[in-house]
Amino acid sequence: MPNNKSAKKRVLIAERNRLYNRFWKTRCKNAVKKVIEAVTNKDTNVAQEKFNEAQCVLDKAVVKGVMHKNTASRRKAYIATAMKSLNK
């Protein structure tokens, strides 16, 4: 338990940030999963739509400080590779 006022405030802020980060991380994971699912179903139009959406979500997570830029870049490369396999 925190003993002084600033420590109590930090506990509240940390909890708020944890929830915010969890929301964005989950949103990123779901976006990537939707792209992969569309690729496995060989649905080109849906896959392209979900691909663009996933890139947008990953970039927003980076801007908000939830995810490192290299992590987002790695995940975008992963889904881009999946999209290339769909076009073959």
pLDDT tens track for 27-84: 999 999 999 999 999 999 999 999 999 999 999 999 999 999 999 999 999 999 999 9
What per-residue confidence (pLDDT) applies to 56?
97
44 CB contacts (<8 Å, ≥6 apart)? 86, 87
Give pTM, 2 decimals.
0.88
Tell me the C-alpha distance between 27 and 31, whole Å: 6
Determine the average pLDDT of the residues in 14-38. 97
* Model confidence at 5: pLDDT above 90: yes
Terminal-residue alpha carbon distance, the chain: 58
